[in-house]
Amino acid sequence: MTVNAEFEHPRLAAVYDLLDPDRSDLDVYLDLIGEDGARSVLDVGCGTGVLACALAARGFQVVAVDPALASLDVARAKPHAEWVRWVHGDALAVRGLGLAGFDAATMTANVAMVFLDDEDMAAALRAVRESLAPGGRLLFEAREPRLLSPELWTRESTWSRRGLPGHGEVEAWCETERIVGSLLTFRWTFVFHADGQVLTSCSTLRFRSREEIATLLEAAGFSAVELRRLPRAPERAFLAAARRS
């Protein structure tokens, strides 16, 4: 299991939420799960557990899975984390746990884009489908493929320098390294001015069209596929919703 430094390095996992404190992008998930009358949720690629803890605080039964131990350690220290079952593993790990019957499953932020090959994405979708109750709903988002460009992330457009409680001044920026077909590789650089440490994290994401995502969902046994604009970021990404047939 390869995990990016951004999520796996303890120092980077510790500043992840502080560098990106506005998580209003998660509201749509909380709203849709609440509207659906769900009681149990599987959060795949939970990272530092923002959504999982918010769901637990609202009384949902939550199992949250991520391959990055350092991010899970951050998650476990949060309020309401004690009500979440944290699982160290990737999307396929849910298969081995004998967990099933979830009313909803989520893959928030870039999680659905880390599966670079269609075979990997299909395997992840099948594993999530098996963990859902009949009629249970999977929700995830994907960035708009028309935004795939070297200009998407540049040092100028992403640079920040902030004083973070307990960490001192941290400078961060993201640069696109290369684009090959629908794969975009980018590198985050983090400078910890308290001691001068420089850490980098390189990641690749797959940009898929709505049609590609609908085809993958249907092939994995989902139906009622809906692809809608993300309310808080309609230009940036779209939301996929589908039910276990």
Ligand X SMILES: C[S@@+](CC[C@H](N)C(=O)[O-])C[C@H]1O[C@@H](n2cnc3c(N)ncnc32)[C@H](O)[C@@H]1O
- Residues engaged in binding ligand X (CB under 6 A): 3, 7, 44-47, 50, 66-68, 71, 90-91, 108-111, 114
CB atoms within 10 A of CB 153: 18
Q: Smallest gap, in angstroms, from Cβ of residue 113 to ligand X?
A: 9
Instruction: Tell me which residue has tokens 């640079």.
Output: 159
Concatenate the DSSP letters of all residues of 181-236 into one string: TTEEEEEEEEEETTTTEEEEEEEEEE---HHHHHHHHHHTTEEEEEEEE-TT-TTT
Q: Which residues have CB under 8 Å from 16's CB, separation 6+?
A: 6, 7, 47, 48, 71, 74
Q: Which is nearer to ligand X, 38 or 109 (CB)?
A: 109
Q: Which is nearer to ligand X, 115 or 134 (CB)?
A: 115
Q: Which is nearer to ligand X, 65 or 194 (CB)?
A: 65
Nearer to ligand X, 41 or 91 (CB): 91
Closest separation in Å from C-beta 153 to ligand X:
13
Nearer to ligand X, 42 or 170 (CB): 42
Q: How far is the CB of 196 from ligand X (least distance, A)?
A: 27
Count Cβ atoms below 10 Å from residue 101 Cβ, excluding itself.
11
Residue 3 Cβ vs ligand X, minimum distance, rounded to whole Å = 5
CB of 106 vs ligand X, minimal distance in Å: 8
The 3-class secondary structure across 79-102, one letter per residue, is CCHHHEEEEECCHHHHHHHCCCCE
Q: Which residues contact 38 (CB under 8 A, 6 or more apart)?
A: 60, 103, 104, 136, 137
Q: Are 54 and 26 in contact (CB under 8 A)?
A: yes
In the bound state, the residue with its beta carbon closest to ligand X is 47
Q: Which is nearer to ligand X, 42 or 194 (CB)?
A: 42
Closest distance between ligand X and the C-beta of residue 67, in Å? Answer: 5
Strand 160-164 with 132-143, pairing: unpaired
